[in-house]
Amino acid sequence: MTPDAAPAAPPVAAELVHRLYVLLKAASVYGRGNEGYRRHSEEAREVLRRAQAEEGDLRIEAREGRLFLNRRPIRFQSEASAAVRFLCEEMARRGVGVVEFAAGCAPDTLDAFAFAFQATRPRRGEGLDDLRARLRDAHASGVSVEEDVPAGEGAAAEEADAAALARRAFLRALTVVQDAMKRQRAGQPVELARARRAVHGLVDRVIADPQALFELGALRSFDAYTYAHCVNVSVYAVAIGARLGLDRARLAELGFGGLFHDLGKARLPIGLIDKPDEFDDADWRRMRRHPALGAKSLLGLKRDADRVLARAISMAFEHHLGADGSGYPRLKAPRRPDLFSRICAVADAFDALTSGRVYQKTPMGPDEALRRMALRAGSSFDAFLLRALIGAVGVFPIGTVLLLDDGELGVVWRNDPNDLLPRGSRSSPTRAAPGPPASSTSRRPTRRRAGRGARSRAWWTRSATG
């Protein structure tokens, strides 16, 4: 079981969906008395009986391309995706959000449903009333259908599957960043409305469960580094903002700024970004232009600089300025950057240090990164905001490998904000993040002498995926 997701429906749910799919297909081709149809019907009834025995009433719900049984997500093997897509699409076309089979319904209820469903003409998605009428006329009282109510966004969103929602929000933001950078390279304006929606999704997920998004921070590729980095910075920044008690509007500004803080890199030569070798001074000079270039790109958008955009401009320009005014770009009169820029600086540094990137192939362990950042608190980083970051990600952030007191290695997969000493998961050191390991343990790591180079009364950690 994933630690953060809603509990999944039992395996019989996936089987039922598959049988329903086959039965509906058969009903569209065969008549009720056809031998082939009868065989499929028998198999479907059998699965329905088993499912009802386990669950009682069966409420099958389609929402955003996913299926739920009794409000729990149904997990499928990949080959079942055709069945899921078919059911979701056909239900949506008829305006049906929920199909409910009452416990102990008559055996032929399935047949009545299958033929009524197929006979309902999906007229502009308004077939719900038609389907209801057909079921009523067929005396199929054991099955009912309900309208397709939006799952919702924002405060009214249903908490269905935290992990899936987090993944979707993360990837949506990733595509926004990717698209923005592509447009930037092509000299086209960034689509801000789309970006704002993506950020709203991220903020909702960070408020609901930041850990699910932190896990996704480990999803990185060589080529997509910059995109994923931008999303991660956005997530960390919002998490820090949430620790500070900022309201949703301010968190959205933070997230938006985080998403575009490195937009200026899209105006640097790809060869520089992808350069495998060490940077020379000329490379660094060019690279250090990216805050100014990013700010200019955002300033160049043909729209008013409202709070959201102005914050993003400020964050893009100042995110490499130290809390004491050091760093770059070199200002005429060094000054303290804006709060959000300081947050962005902390988030950016943490993600950069812990990431594998084009020009730094060996990232640091998250805990080590925090420790190093702590050494520069007050100068490069705002000490208070660094504390907020630690509070958000934990002293041993997700992905940290711990040596447990029994000599085994554990990967931190989750942090409790109220208990910053983590619960580790027993895992092979080469076991990949993201996602929780197959088995887990809740033992605390204890102080012990261990590991190569370990010092007395110390315990070592390293990153999760080494």
Contact between 75 and another protein (CB under 8 A)? no
In contact, 403 and 224? CB cutoff 8 Å:
no
Q: Name which of 403, 411, 412 is nearest 452 in CA terms.
A: 403
Both tokens of 117, joined, read 């469903």
Q: What is the 3-state secondary structure (H, E, C) of 45-90?
A: HHHHHHHHHHHCCEEEEEECCEEEECCEECCCCHHHHHHHHHHHHH
Least distance CB 47 / another protein (angstroms): 21
Q: Is 152 in the site for another protein (CB under 8 A)?
A: yes
101 binds another protein (CB under 8 A): no
CA distance 198 to 465: 28
Site for another protein contains 447 (CB under 8 A): yes
In sequence order, what are the residues at sequence separation of 6 or more whose Cβ sits closer than 8 angstroms to the Cβ of residue 16?
44, 47, 48, 51, 58, 60, 69
Closer residue to another protein in complex, CB, 58/216: 216
Q: Which of 33, 187, 245, 407 binds another protein (CB under 8 A)?
A: 245
Q: Does 454 bind another protein (CB under 8 A)?
A: yes
Amino acid in position 402: L
| CB 237, min distance to another protein, A | 12
- Among 37, 68, 101, 115, the residue binding another protein under the rule CB under 8 A is 115
Smallest gap, in angstroms, from Cβ of residue 351 to another protein? 10
Q: Are 69 and 60 in contact (CB under 8 A)?
A: yes
Q: Which residue among 163, 237, 287, 398 contacts another protein (CB under 8 A)?
A: 287
Q: Tell me whether residue 111 is exposed, middle or buried, using C-beta atoms within 10 angstroms of its C-beta: 0 to 12, 13 to 18, 19 or more.
A: buried
Q: Is 171 in the site for another protein (CB under 8 A)?
A: yes
- Closer by beta carbon to another protein, 39 or else 121: 121
Residue 407 touches another protein, criterion: CB under 8 A: no
Given the complex with another protein, which of 54 and 86 has the nearer CB atom? 86
Residue 126 binds another protein, judged by CB under 8 A: yes
Q: Is 159 in the site for another protein (CB under 8 A)?
A: no
Q: Which is nearer to another protein, 36 or 446 (CB)?
A: 446
Segment interacting with another protein (CB under 8 A) among 12-20, 37-45, 46-54, 345-353: 345-353
Q: Which one of residues 85, 103, 159, 428 is an interface residue with another protein (CB under 8 A)?
A: 85
Peptide bond connecting 434 to the previous residue in cis, omega within 30 degrees of 0: yes
CB of 458 to another protein, least distance (A): 4
Contact 1, 72 (CB under 8 A): no
| H or E element, residue 346 | helix 339-354
List binders of another protein among 255-284 (CB under 8 A): 266, 270, 273-274, 278-279, 284
Preceding omega of 337 cis (within 30 degrees of 0): no
